[in-house]
Amino acid sequence: MTINSITRQTLRPGTPADSSVVKTQGRVNHLARPNLSGYHQDGFSPASSATHYLDPMHNYRATKDGNTYCNYFTQDYMKLRGVKNFPQMTANDTNHWLNSPQGQRAGWRQVSGQQAEDFVNKGGVGLVSSPNPGGHGHIAPIIEGQAVNGEPLIANAGSQNFSSGPDTASPAFRRPNTQFFIYDPKN
């Protein structure tokens, strides 16, 4: 999908949510995307606070033409978690960047699903990424919780939106090329 223009409009007065009008192939679609300037961490953990604020159950929904925006959700999540210079790209392009020397210099490294969950449970930042050379890839932040059989918990925006569930609840992460990354700029 090529994005021709994005503008911001108020979606729900009195709430931090707004709408991006995404024009794709001559059609206008509304994408609910929160205003990040109103964020402050509540009494929960950093990952829970960010997930709660972004609210993937009500924002980042599929548009009328079936497009979903896992990349926007993950970009917003990373910004709230303080990750500097996270790329503003598609899921496929972000996966390529994460695997590049540039992504490694920015502090990202590939680990197992269990290692990513353990890192996030200690307050770190992690994500799961699945490229799709023949179509759209998928990306999602890893959140705190108990990994099951090495599969971490994620907050997901895409064909199915949820605030907490195993990565395999998203069909894209059942592909064999699924990768897990942690953000550790000190190493």
- For the purposes of burial, counting CB atoms within 10 Å of the CB of 16, is it exposed (0-12), middle (13-18) or buried (19 or more)? middle
The DSSP output letter for 49 is H
Domains and CATH numbers, the chain: 5-183 (3.90.1720.10)
Distance CA 86, CA 79 (A): 8
Backbone angles phi, psi at 151, to 5 degrees: -100, 115
What are the residues whose beta carbons fall under 8 Å from the beta carbon of 89, sequence distance 6 or more? 71, 97
**Predicted pLDDT of residue 44:** 55
**Predicted pLDDT of residue 167:** 93
**Predicted pLDDT of residue 11:** 27
pLDDT digits (tens, 9 = 90+) for 71-99: 989 999 999 899 989 999 999 999 999 99
**Predicted pLDDT of residue 178:** 96
- 3-class secondary structure, 16: coil
Query: Helices in 29-69 by DSSP H: which ranges?
Result: 46-54
- 3-class secondary structure, 153: strand
Tell how far CA 185 is from the center of its chain: 19
Residue bearing the bigger pLDDT, 4 or 60: 60
In what side-by-side order are the strands of the sheet with 153-156?
Answer: 108-111, 179-183, 125-130, 138-142, 153-156, 162-166
45, pLDDT greater than 80: no
Number of Cβ within 10 Å of residue 85's Cβ equals 11
Lowest mean pLDDT of 3-7, 112-116, 150-154, 164-168, name the range.
3-7
Mean pLDDT of the chain: 77
